[in-house]
Amino acid sequence: TVQLVESGGGSVQAGGSLRLSCGVSGITANHYCMGWFRQAPGKEREAVATVVITDDIIVSTHYPDSVEGRFTISRDSAKSTLFLQMNSLKPEDTAMYYCTTDPSVRSCTKAADYRYWGQGTQVTVSS
């Protein structure tokens, strides 16, 4: 069973930084998508950082224009924790952030394609 547990959210002023963590267990596939999505009230869940992993190696990374250059996705050497480093945060980054993975995803950036999600962690950026 795939399990994902996020932590690290909180409140910060605009221009500040936060690092989110996601403990990952139960992945047995050797090719899968993994990443971070966010959802603000009244809005659709959107990808903010996604990776394609093959044979334990990140082979590609994608960021939308809205976070490119400010957010960085990474994993620890044990490949059991996924991180999202968020710098230069803006009020529009305020949302619930979710960690996700699935070996059967067709498009890594489509939330509807993922079956496994963490419980989410709130990020609030004040101006």
Distance between CA atoms of 82 and 108, rounded to whole angstroms?
A: 15
Name the nearest CA neighbour of 39 among 125, 101, 121, 113: 121
pLDDT given for residue 123 in this prediction: 98
pLDDT digits (tens, 9 = 90+) for 11-56: 999 999 999 999 999 988 888 999 999 999 999 999 999 999 999 8
Q: Can you tell me the mean pLDDT for 68-92?
A: 94
pLDDT of residue 79: 79
Give me the sheet containing 3-7, strands edge to edge: 3-7, 18-25, 81-86, 71-75
- With a cut of 90, say whether residue 80 has pLDDT above it: no
Q: Give the per-residue pLDDT at 104.
A: 85
Who's near 102: CB < 8 A, 6+ residues apart? 32, 33, 113, 114, 115, 116
Mean pLDDT calculated for residue range 85-96 = 98
* Mean pLDDT, rounded, for 86-99: 98
Mean pLDDT of 104-127: 94
Fill in the amino acid letter for 87.
N
